[in-house]
Amino acid sequence: MNKEVGFFNFSLNKILTKEQSILDQARIRLLYYVLWLAIIVVAALQVNIYLDHQYILAFTTGILLFSLLILFKYLTFRPRWGIISHILLVLATMVNLSNVFITLQNVNIVTAQIILLIIVFSFYMLGQTCGLFYSLVNLIPVLLFLVLEYDNDYVIGIKPKVIDESTIIIAICANFALIILMHNYFYAAFVKSIKVLRNTAEERGKLNSELEQVIEKAEKSAQAKSEFLSIMSHEIRTPLNAVIGMSNLLIMGNPRPDQKDNLDILKFSANNLLALVNDVLDFNKIEAGKIVFENISFNLPDLMQNVCGGQRLKAEEKGLEFHLKIDPVLRQKIVFGDPTRLTQIIFNLISNAIKFTHHGNIWVYVSCLEDRHNTVNVNFSVKDTGIGIAKDNLEIIFEPFTQESISTTRQYGGTGLGLAIVKRLLELQGLQIVVSSELGAGSEFSFNMEFPVSTEIVAVSEDKRPLTAGADILSNLRVLIAEDNMVNVMLMKKLFSKWGITPTIAENGERAIEMVQYGNFDIILMDLQMPVLNGFDAAVEIRKMRDPKKANIPIIALTASALFDIKERVFNSGMNDYVSKPFKPDELREKMQNLIVPIG
C-alpha cells in the first residue's frame, strides 16, 4: 500500500503499487470501476423507483447506495480488495434473495444476471473456495424458490412489488455492463500475465545461460588454479629436493662443527620453504573437496610420541619446557581413524604454540573422556604460555592467509594457513575446535574426537636398531633410476654411494623400458614427469613384459607433483609405492627395504 495515500484520495493510481501482482492490480481496478458503475446505476434506480412511488424499495436502495459510497471511499484510502469483495458479495446476496423471496417474489432475467455476476465476481476476486460458496448460497435458494412456486406452495403475507419496465431495463443494462467489465479486466490481466511469464522465462533462460557460463569459467579457473599450484609445486619441489638432499649428504659426511651449523641453517630454511608449499597445497586440496579420510588401525600414544618427538626438540631449542601427557587408558588400545590427518592437526597446533611462545611451557594433553569398550571419546588439548589472542580476533585467526594482525605476520612469519587447515580438517569430520586465550598469558586449543576401538592386542614394541650406512641388505643392489633432471641424478648417485649402491640411470621412460628388457634390476625408482615417455606409461609397459621376473620388479615412484589423484594414479599404473620429493633418505631407504627380497 502506498503510504502517501490520504483520506480524501479518490485517485486509482495512488492505490496501485509495483509490489502488487498483475492479478491484484486487476482486482483493484475492477473494484474501483465496478463501485463507480454500481453507484451510478443504484442512484439512477433509486430516482426511478422513488418517482414510481416505491418508497420502501427506494429506502432499501438508498441504504445500498450509502454502503457502496462507504466501500468506494474505503477502497481509495485502504485498498483491501479482499474485505471489500466479501462485503459486496454479502450485499449482493442479500439484495438477490430479498428480491426473490420478499420484494418481487419472482425469478426473472435480472435475478439470473445477479446470480451470474456473483458467480463470476466471487471466483475472479476471491478464488475457487469462496467462489463456490457464494455461488451455492445464491443458486440453491433460488432453485428452491422455483420448485415451491411450481407447486404453488410458496405463500407469504407480503404482497410483491411491481417494477416498471424502465427500472428493469436499467438493471439489465447495468448488469451486462458489469459482466463485460469484469471479463475485460481479468482477460487483460490474464494476457498480461502470460506475456510477463513468457518474458520472465526468456530472461530466466538468459540468466541460466549466463550462469552456466560463469560456472564453467569458475570451474576452469579452479582447475587452472589447481594445475598452476601443481606445476609450481613440482617446479619448487625439484630444486628443494636438491637443496635438502645435498644438505643431508653433507651432514652425513661428518662436517666440521662450523660447517654443520651452516648446513643445519640451510636445511632448516629449506624445510621451512617446503612446509609453506605443503600448507598451500593442503589448503587447496581441502577447498577443492579432494580430501578423503582413511580408516586404518593405529596406536594413538605411539602416534602422539612420534608427532611430539621432533616438536619437543624445537621447543627445547627455544628454551621452552615441553610436556606430553597421555591418558593411561589409551595405551592398551588400537583405534581406527586417519593417523595422517590427525598428525597434521596436532603438528600444526603444536607448531603454532611453539612459534608464539617466547618463554614458559608447552603442554599437550590426550585424555579419554569416555570409554565405551568399542569406542573411545578422546580430548586433544594444546596449551602454551605464549602471547595470547585478543577476544575480538578469536574468529579471524581461523581465516585462510590471515593472522591476528599485520605486526604478528611481520614478526613471526608464516602463511596464516595452519589454523585454517586445522579447522577445515575438523569440520570435514563434523568436529569443532575450541579456543580459550588470554592476551599476554597464553592460549589453549582443544577438540574432541571419537575413535572405534580394535580388538587387536597391543604388542610390546621392540627397540629397532638404527640403520647403518655400511653393508646391509641394500649394498650391491641393482637399482635403475629413471630421472631426467641431472641435479637429481647427481644427488641420487651420491646418496646411493653411501649405501654401497651404484645405480643405473635412464633419462626417460622409454629408455627405462629398454634397460629393463635387456638388463637385470632388483628395483626401479621412477620419476613421473619425464620427456619422451612419462613414468606412468613406462610402469604400465614394464608390467606387460612376458618375463614374470621383469614384469613384477618393484617400482617406487619419485614425484614432486601435488596433483590430488597422484596416489591413485601411481597404484593404478602398477607401481608399488611412491616417495614425494624432497624425500627423506631414511624414508626412501625403508620403502626400498620393504619391497626387495633380502639378499643372502
In angstroms, the CA 99 to CA 93 distance is 10
Domain boundary (452, 487, 519) is at 452
The phi-psi region of residue 72 (left if phi > 0; otherwise alpha if psi is between -120 and 50; otherwise beta) is alpha
pLDDT for res 460: 45
Same domain, 484 and 412: no
Q: Does residue 76 sit in the same domain as residue 166? A: yes
pLDDT value of position 362 = 93
Instruction: Write the CB contacts of 51 (distance below 8 Å, at least 6 apart in sequence).
Output: none
For residue 38 the three cell numbers come to: 454500481
Q: Are residues 86 and 199 in the same domain?
A: yes
Whether residues 491 and 368 fall in one domain: no
Looking at the structure, do residues 442 and 583 belong to the same domain, yes or no? no
DSSP letters for 218-246? HHHHHHHHHHHHHHHHHHHHHHHHHHHHH
The answer to whether the CB of 1 falls within 8 A of the CB of 17 is yes
Contact assessment for residue 241 and residue 581, using Cβ atoms and an 8 Å cutoff:
yes
In terms of Cβ atoms closer than 10 Å to its own Cβ (0-12, 13-18, 19+), residue 315 is: buried
Answer yes or no: do 494 and 440 share one domain. no
Residue finishing a domain among 170, 204, 238? 204
- Coil, helix or strand for 250? helix
**Could you tell me if residue 290 is inside a domain?**
no
- What's the CATH number where 586 sits? 3.40.50.2300
Handedness of CA 76, 78, 82, 86 (dihedral sign): negative
Phi, psi of 546 (to 5 degrees): -70, -35
Task: Report the alpha-carbon distance of residue 81 to residue 12 in Å, rounded.
Answer: 13
- Domain-located, residue 469: no
The pLDDT value given to residue 170: 81
Do you find a cis peptide bond into 582, omega within 30 degrees of 0?
Answer: yes
**Nearest CA-CA partner of 524 in 546, 554, 499:** 554
- The answer to the question of residue 533 being in a domain is yes
Let me know whether 112 and 212 are in one domain.
no
In angstroms, the CA 91 to CA 226 distance is 73
> Which of 322, 333, 397, 329 is closest to 357 using CA atoms?
322
CATH code of residue 233: 1.10.287
Is there a single domain that holds both residue 43 and residue 164? yes
Residues 6 or more apart whose CB falls under 8 angstroms from that of 265 comprise none
537 within some domain: yes
Find the helix or strand (DSSP H, E) in which 479 lies: strand 479-482
Res 365: pLDDT: 95
- C-alpha dihedral sign at 122, 125, 126, 129: positive
CATH of residue 404's domain is: 3.30.565.10
In a domain, residue 292? The reply is no
- The rounded distance, in Å, linking the Cα atoms of 157 and 422 is 93
- Do 130 and 264 belong together in one domain? no
- Whose CA is closest to 277, among 241, 307, 250? 241
Residue 8, judged by CB atoms within 10 A of its CB (0-12, 13-18, 19+), counts as: exposed
Q: HSE-up of 475 (CA within 13 Å, CB side)?
A: 9
Same domain, 362 and 499: no
Report if residue 150 sits inside a domain. yes
Q: Which single residue is written with the C-alpha cell 596464516?
A: 416
Reduced to 3 states, what is the DSSP secondary structure of residue 435?
strand
Range of the domain at 225: 207-285
Per-residue pLDDT of the chain (600 residues; tens, 9 = 90+): 555 667 777 788 888 888 888 888 888 888 888 888 888 888 888 888 888 777 777 887 888 888 889 988 888 888 888 898 899 889 889 888 888 888 778 888 888 988 998 998 888 888 889 989 999 999 999 999 888 887 777 777 777 777 777 778 888 888 888 888 888 877 887 888 888 888 888 888 889 989 998 988 888 877 776 667 666 666 777 777 778 777 877 887 788 888 877 887 777 677 767 766 766 766 766 766 667 788 888 889 988 988 887 788 888 888 899 999 999 988 888 899 988 889 889 988 998 899 889 889 999 999 999 888 789 999 999 999 988 888 877 777 777 655 444 444 444 444 567 788 888 889 989 999 999 988 888 999 999 999 999 876 555 444 444 444 434 567 788 999 999 888 888 888 888 888 888 899 999 999 999 999 999 999 999 998 888 999 999 999 999 999 999 999 999 998 776 555 677 888 899 999 988 877 778 888 888 888 885 543
Residue 458, in any domain of the structure: no
Cβ atoms < 10 Å from Cβ of 547: 11
- Tell me how long the chain is: 600
d(CA 493, CA 239): 16
The x, y and z cell numbers of residue 401, run together, are 592467509
Burial state string for 494-508 with b = 16 or more CB within 10 A and e = fewer than 16:
bbbeebebebebbbb
Instruction: Single out the residue in 285, 320, 347 at which a domain terminates.
Output: 285
Same domain? 122 vs 184? yes
Asked whether residue 467 is assigned to any structural domain, the reply reads no
Q: Count up the domains in the chain and report the number.
A: 4
pTM: 0.48
d(C-alpha 438, C-alpha 391), whole Å: 8
Residue 547 carries which DSSP code?
S
Does residue 385 sit in the same domain as residue 496?
no
Contact present, 411 and 397 (Cβ < 8 Å): no
